[in-house]
Amino acid sequence: MIIRKTTREIQQMKEAGLIVWQVHQELARVIEPGITTRELDALAERLIRQAGGIPTFKGYHGYPASICASVNEVVVHGIPGDRKLAEGDIIAIDLGVTYGGWVGDSAYTHPVGKVSPEAARLLEVTRIALEKAIARCYPGNRLGDVGHAVQSYVESQGFSVVRDFVGHGVGARMHEAPPVPNYGQPGTGVLLRPGMVLAIEPMVNVGTWEVRVLDDGWTAVTADGSYSAHFEHTVAITENGPEILTKP
């Protein structure tokens, strides 16, 4: 069942979303060669709790950390640890905050120092794919339009979209209906209506779209070892079009 939110509830969700945004800003400041993903996770958890929020990911289906820190070929769900970031890496930080009973969820992928031209282009294409998806979030459009916006652009750039993991509705729970794939046919799928709130999150690989999960049951990596990027915003569908809740 798709739970639509009132205008007031959407504004409450924006409060959670702004904490997510602030934490991302602080993490972006400290990402540099030498820092470990565990240090990033500790900083994120401290900042979330200082803001009065709860790290949504921690304990979710047993997930052990407050952020997902997915480096290079890791697509999603990289568990923070002792890995030190190195010049040329790319790192996707995904984080969720529960505040006032509502969840905000977003992700950014950052270059660590100077990265290869291909990696830089991957980040740019994935970021633009998210923008194109959000631009389709008007009442009357369908989820197929959103997915198609991502898939057609990404594939035109020679990259591939991940099928195994998808975006989702978001609200009082992190994962609500409907699933939001990054692929699809225009004019198909769930009709977008005012009050829907979606976590839209293209995951884009340089090589094959196929992924595999490591023995920890969480870490998903590209099947061919190519780099992968991930950007995400929590977006409300309003009468006037999309409102991004995870940025000011």
Name the site residues for another protein (rule: CB under 8 A). Answer: 1, 56-57, 60-63, 68, 76-77, 94, 96, 105, 163-168, 173-175, 177, 179, 181, 185, 188, 199, 201, 203, 209-210, 212-213, 215, 217-218, 230, 232
* Residue 144 or 195 with smaller CB distance to another protein: 144
Structure letter (DSSP) for residue 136: T
Work out how close the CB of 96 gets to another protein at its nearest, in angstroms, rounded to a whole number: 6
Work out how close the CB of 12 gets to another protein at its nearest, in angstroms, rounded to a whole number: 20
* Residue 3 or 238 with smaller CB distance to another protein: 3
Contact 147/192 with Cβ under 8 angstroms? no
What whole-number distance in Å separates Cα of residue 13 and Cα of residue 170?
10
Work out how close the CB of 147 gets to another protein at its nearest, in angstroms, rounded to a whole number: 11
Work out how close the CB of 93 gets to another protein at its nearest, in angstroms, rounded to a whole number: 11
What whole-number distance in Å separates Cα of residue 42 and Cα of residue 142?
39
Work out how close the CB of 65 gets to another protein at its nearest, in angstroms, rounded to a whole number: 11
* Residue 136 or 230 with smaller CB distance to another protein: 230
What contacts 97, CB < 8 A, 6 or more positions away? 16, 17, 19, 20, 23, 48, 51, 53, 54, 55, 56, 103, 104
* Residue 76 or 115 with smaller CB distance to another protein: 76
Residue 189 DSSP SS3: coil
* Residue 169 or 242 with smaller CB distance to another protein: 169
Q: Mark 31-64 as b/e (b = at least 16 C-beta within 10 Å).
A: beeebebbbbbebbbebbeebebbbbbbeeeebe
